[in-house]
Copies of this chain bind each other. A is one copy, B any other.
C-alpha cells in the first residue's frame, strides 16, 4: 500500500486535527486491538453524571500520541538529539499504552479479572502485535517497560507528567464540560527540557518559568478527581456494577444460566490470573474481544433474569435508579451501616441477598506524590542556574506539598427505594 494513503488526519474537538505521522502508526491504528478501544469509554459510568463524557480510549490514545509529537518537537527545539526511530517508537508506545484496558476498567480489574493490572495486559498485547509486525515495536516496548537506556522516553509515557495525563485531563474536562479543570498542556509541553541525573542520564524536567503551570496542572488534577473521577454518583454506579457482576458470577458458580457474550462468559466463569494470560493465548484473545457492549448488553438481558437480585440491579442501572450514598472524611460509624442495613431489611430483602444492595469503600486521592518517597516519576523543576528540584520543594506555595497528602473519603451506598421489578 502506498505511503500517501496512510497520511490520515482525524478531526479532534480538543486539538483541532490529529495527524498520523507515519505508516507504522497508521497500521497500529488500523489494528483490531486498537480499533477495539473505540468501544471502550474513557470514563466508564461517568456519563450518568456528565452526559457528554462518552469519549473513548481510542480518541484518548490518539490525543496522547499527538501531544507526544509536540513534546518531541519541543525537546528537539532545545537542542536535544532525538532520532526518527526514537520519535516513532515513543509515539507508538503512548498510542498503545492503554491496549490492556477492558470495559469499565477500574471496576472490572478487581471483579472480572483477578487483579491483573491493565499495564501488564497492554504489554502482552503489544508483544503480540510486535510478533505480527516482525519486531517493529521492539524499541517502543523497551521504552514502555522502562528498559531503554534513555529513561526520559519512559517518563513521557508514564510518570506524573506524562502525555497520558496531559491528554486525559484535557479531554476529560472538555467532554464533561468541567471547564475549571482546564490545564495548559501546550504551555507545559513548551517548558519541557532534559537534565542529567546523578547517573548522567537525561531526565525530564520543566523550566522554572513553568512552575505556575505545573501547580495549576496538579490543582486541576485534584479537582477532576473529586468532581469527576470520584463523583459520588459514579461511585454509586460503580458499586452497582461491582455487585451485579458479583451476583452473575455467584449464579454461574451455582450452575444457573446467565447468558452473556462468549468473552464475558469466559471471564465470569473463572478468575483469570496474569499467569493464565501468559500461558493460555485464548484468554488474551477473549480479552481482546471484550468491550463496553458486552457489559451493557448483558445488563440489558439480565434485567429480565429470573434471579430477582440480578434483575433488580440491572434494571436499576438501565433506568438510572442509582444507589444512594453517604460520604465522610472519617471512617463511617457502625451505627450508620446498621441503619442502612435496617432500611434494606425493611424492603424485605432476604439476609443472604443483603450484601448485593449495599456497598462501602474508600475513595482516595493524592494529586501529587513527591520525591520524599524516592519515586522516579516525580516532577522536577530546572532553574536558570542549573539547579534541579522536586516541584514540591520548588514552589512557593505550601499547597503543593499539601497536594501530596493522600485524602480519603469513606462511603457507603445502598438501594434506598424498593424497585418494582414487574413493571
Contacts of A220 in B (CB 8 A): 216
Chain B residue with Cβ nearest A176: B11
Provide the A391-410 mask, 1 if CB < 8 A to any CB of B, else 0.
Answer: 00000111111110101000
Provide the A205-236 mask, 1 if CB < 8 A to any CB of B, else 0.
Answer: 00000001101100110110011000000000
A354 close to B (CB within 8 Å): no
A255 close to B (CB within 8 Å): no
Contacts of A12 in B (CB 8 A): 51-52, 177
Known: A261-B301, A297-B297, A399-B399. A318 touches B177 (CB 8 A): no
- Interface positions, chain A 18-59, Cβ under 8 Å from B, are 30, 32, 35, 38-39, 47, 50-52, 54-56, 58-59
Chain B residue with Cβ nearest A304: B262
A92 close to B (CB within 8 Å): no
A156 close to B (CB within 8 Å): no
A133 close to B (CB within 8 Å): no
Which of A157-165, A179-187, A342-350 lies at the interface with chain B? A179-187
Between-chain CB contacts (< 8 Å), 26 pairs: A11-B178, A12-B51, A12-B177, A13-B52, A13-B174, A14-B52, A16-B186, A32-B318, A51-B58, A51-B59, A51-B62, A179-B184, A179-B186, A212-B223, A216-B219, A219-B219, A261-B297, A261-B300, A261-B301, A293-B297, A294-B300, A297-B297, A329-B396, A396-B407, A398-B398, A398-B405
Selected from B30, B52, B262, B402, the residue in CB contact (under 8 A) with A55 is B52
> How far does the alpha carbon of A275 sit from the alpha carbon of B405 in the complex, in Å?
53
**A39, chain B: closest CB distance, angstroms:** 7
> How far does the alpha carbon of A289 sit from the alpha carbon of B222 in the complex, in Å?
38
Q: Which 6 A-B pairs have the closest CB atoms?
A: A399-B399, A297-B297, A11-B177, A398-B402, A180-B184, A13-B177
CB distance B226 to A212 under 8 Å? yes
CB distance A17 to B399 under 8 Å? no
Which residue of A56, A178, A212 has the most chain B CB atoms within 10 A of its CB atom?
Answer: A212
- Interface positions, chain A 94-141, Cβ under 8 Å from B, are none
A198 close to B (CB within 8 Å): no
Known: A289-B300, A318-B35, A402-B398. A52 touches B47 (CB 8 A): no
A319 close to B (CB within 8 Å): yes
A interface residues, Cβ below 8 angstroms from B: 7, 9-14, 16-17, 30, 32, 35, 38-39, 47, 50-52, 54-56, 58-59, 62, 77, 174-180, 182-184, 186-187, 190, 212-213, 215-216, 219-220, 222-223, 226-227, 261-262, 289, 291, 293-294, 296-297, 300-301, 304, 318-320, 329, 396-403, 405, 407
CB distance A212 to B59 under 8 Å? no
Selected from B62, B182, B227, B319, the residue in CB contact (under 8 A) with A212 is B227
Contacts of A179 in B (CB 8 A): 16, 182, 184, 186
> How far does the alpha carbon of A304 sit from the alpha carbon of B265 in the complex, in Å?
15
**A398, chain B: closest CB distance, angstroms:** 4
CB distance A38 to B32 under 8 Å? no
Told that A35-B319, A39-B296, A212-B226 touch, could you supply 4 new A-B pairs with CB distance under 8 A? A9-B190, A32-B319, A179-B182, A180-B183
Selected from B62, B187, B219, the residue in CB contact (under 8 A) with A17 is B187
Contacts of A399 in B (CB 8 A): 219, 397-400, 402-403
Known: A398-B398, A399-B403. A56 touches B51 (CB 8 A): yes
Which residue of A7, A184, A320 has the most chain B CB atoms within 10 A of its CB atom?
Answer: A184
> How far does the alpha carbon of A51 sit from the alpha carbon of B9 in the complex, in Å?
11
**A40, chain B: closest CB distance, angstroms:** 12
Chain B residue with Cβ nearest A54: B54
**A189, chain B: closest CB distance, angstroms:** 10
Chain B residue with Cβ nearest A365: B396
Contacts of A329 in B (CB 8 A): 396
**A288, chain B: closest CB distance, angstroms:** 11
